[in-house]
Structure 1
Amino acid sequence: MSEAELPAPRLTPAERGVRVLAITGLIVGGFFPFVWMVLTSLKSEGELQKFPVQYLPSTLNPVNYGRVFSEQPFAQFFTNSLVVSLLSTALCIAFAVPAAYALARLHVRARGLLMTLVVAFSMFPVVSLLVPLFRLFRGANLLNSYPALILPYAALSLPVAILTLVAFFSAIPRDLEAAAMVDGTGRVGAMLRVVLPLSAPGMVTAALLVFVNSWNEFLLALSFNTRVSMRTVSVGVTLYQGEFAFPWPLIAAAVVVATVPIVALIAIFQRRFVAGLTAGGVKA
């Protein structure tokens, strides 16, 4: 009997209970902040200030969601974030694929050093790059434009995308690629026709990581695009606060609307995302 056919060990009631409690704790800890945000967005200011705390709104009041779009140009913020995130993801993946393929499939000298540099660059704090990037974009007259965010977002997410794709490319059997090359397909053709189609979960994983990082980024968006019409969602949410007051139900509604695309993407691509996170861990 092979190892894969061995029966799973039976758990005692105590072990099963501990496992259920651990899973329940993870689920509650992961979803409770978002659920609390949704409940807050449906409350009025009076309900939010009640003591003791009123966890559920007395009536479902969606008026805050209308105010999100009427008090600020939130639709424009949403469009800006969508354009910046999609284009930075496409640009990052376009550079990450050949780089990861070379590191994973070709005999590259100093491969270990290059991988170390990729990891080192992924650890650079954004705040250390803020001033030089600002001066660079100001000199190039790119402030308050989409490229001011697309270019740094793609560059900052590139190490993570490369590491993700290297792990996945390395797990694909080389025999498949060699067979395609024997049939007359070149190295680039083998990559495009064999490796990339088999790497769909890894590609989706890398793209989602880049998209989420770009969508959520705050510091560069706040510093480089100062015009209201060029604000992204992460910065636009902060515009709802007043000088002496914080309308938390309104802010919560804006945060919920800003979270919808991320939730939708994860829901749509969850299978490929999970497969991409796990497949690269086992080398064929």
Structure 2
Amino acid sequence: MTAVTTADARETAVTQAPRARRPLRAGTVGLYVGIVAIAVFCLAPFYWMVVSSLKDPRAIFDNSLIPLNPTLMNYEAVFGAQNTFVFALRNSLIIAGSVMMLALVFGVFAAYAIARLQFRGKTLVLGMFLATSMFPGVAILTPLFQLFADWGWIDTYQAMIIPDISFSLPLGVWILTSFFKAMPWELEQAARVDGCTRGQAFRRVILPLAVPGVFTTAILVFISAWNEFMIANSMSQTPAAQPVTVAIAQFSGISQYDTPYGTQMAAGVIVTVPLIVLVLLFQRRIISGLTAGGVK
């Protein structure tokens, strides 16, 4: 009994003893270096934008990594020109929010039909969605402008919302289709056995479980519509409908003769920070939605 107790004590002492750290392998070090390099590459433009926004217009080209005499005059100039930037923020919020809501409504039903229903050409339909997302927008810009001009839609919200949906919807359908395919069929079948119709089973069982995928799609579609410039620059002609991307491109400097780099950088920071905060707050939901269906 004493021998057994002594052996157990030795085993416990060995288990609780601090383990010697293994030296890092060359592959692990290279992985860490690569991650740091990618992070620096992605964050460097935003850091330079913040630094440039805090510089005086006369010091904008001094190439210093830290502003020697930081100033907020560029931010004051952004909001000082008759509140046009505030109107542009409102327009972008309306356009991006409308695109997000409409893309989710159509995308959820389309993705559910592709993932759950059996019909001919299902794979072809999904491939056509992907082909639409790869179609260059500049190729349809002139026909769209002529069409919307005939309808009297130039300088209106719908002239930017409808084309944005056509490019955002394929992304949403692709993400949601993978998410719906990952759900077990037994959940829907159990709801049908309990007396639910197909619509009730979708609304009460499938849709609540699809919240992570829907949330991920909503954020990605919103960011895509928020950052769109080419169509908005062609369809909006007055501040009444111009989003922030177009308003920033048309900024003037603090004075009449200086280059508007400082105000453009300040406006870029104001527009980008909310998106960064949004992604950081919900990054786990975004990753879970993007990886849904990857592992069974």
TM-score scaled to structure 1, two decimals? 0.91
Q: Distance in 2 between the 1:76 and 1:153 partners?
A: 20
Residue 220 of structure 1: CA displacement? 0.8
Residue 43 of structure 1: CA displacement? 0.8
Q: Distance in 1 between the 2:23 and 2:215 partners?
A: 35
1:83-232 equivalent positions in 2, closer than 5 A: 83-232=94-243
Is the partner of 1:131 in helix, strand or coil? helix
Q: Deviations over 1:20-69 (max 9, x none)?
A: 1011112111111111111110011222233xx31101133122111101
**Among 18, 40, 49, which residue is 2:52 paired with?**
40
Residue 18 of structure 1: CA displacement? 1.0
| 1:261 maps to 2:270 | no
Identity among equivalent pairs (%): 39
Residue 12 of structure 1: CA displacement? 4.2
| 1:60 maps to 2:73 | no
Q: Distance in 2 between the 1:226 and 1:22 partners?
A: 44
Residue 244 of structure 1: CA displacement? 7.2
Change (3 A) 1:255 1:107: same
Q: Distance in 2 between the 1:219 and 1:248 partners?
A: 20
Is the partner of 1:58 in helix, strand or coil? coil
Q: Deviations over 1:83-132 (max 9, x none)?
A: 00001110111101111000001112111111121111111111111122
Runs of 4+ in structure 1 displaced over 4 angstroms?
241-245
Identify the residue that residue 3 of structure 1 maps to in structure 2: none
| 1:273 maps to 2:286 | yes
| 1:30 maps to 2:39 | no
**Among 75, 79, 93, which residue is 1:69 paired with?**
79
Q: Deviations over 1:147-203 (max 9, x none)?
A: 111111112211111111101111111111111111111111111222221112211
Larger radius of gyration: 2
Q: Distance in 1 between the 2:263 and 2:225 partners?
A: 24
Q: Distance in 2 between the 1:116 and 1:274 partners?
A: 24
Is the partner of 1:240 in helix, strand or coil? coil
Contact 1:39-1:57 within 8 A present in 2 as well: yes
The amino acid that maps onto 2:71 is N
For structure 1, list consecutive stretches of 5 or more residues without a partner in the other structure. 1-9
Identify the residue that residue 13 of structure 2 maps to in structure 1: none
Q: Distance in 1 between the 2:119 and 2:281 partners?
A: 36
Change (3 A) 1:11 1:275: farther
Contact 1:42-1:57 within 8 A present in 2 as well: yes
Identify the residue that residue 6 of structure 1 maps to in structure 2: none
Contact 2:93-2:226 within 8 A present in 1 as well: yes
TM-score scaled to structure 2, two decimals? 0.87
Contact 2:53-2:263 within 8 A present in 1 as well: yes
Q: Distance in 2 between the 1:38 and 1:14 partners?
A: 35
Identify the residue that residue 14 of structure 2 maps to in structure 1: none
Q: Distance in 2 between the 1:91 and 1:190 partners?
A: 22
Residue 11 of structure 1: CA displacement? 8.0
Contact 2:56-2:70 within 8 A present in 1 as well: no
Residue 134 of structure 1: CA displacement? 1.2
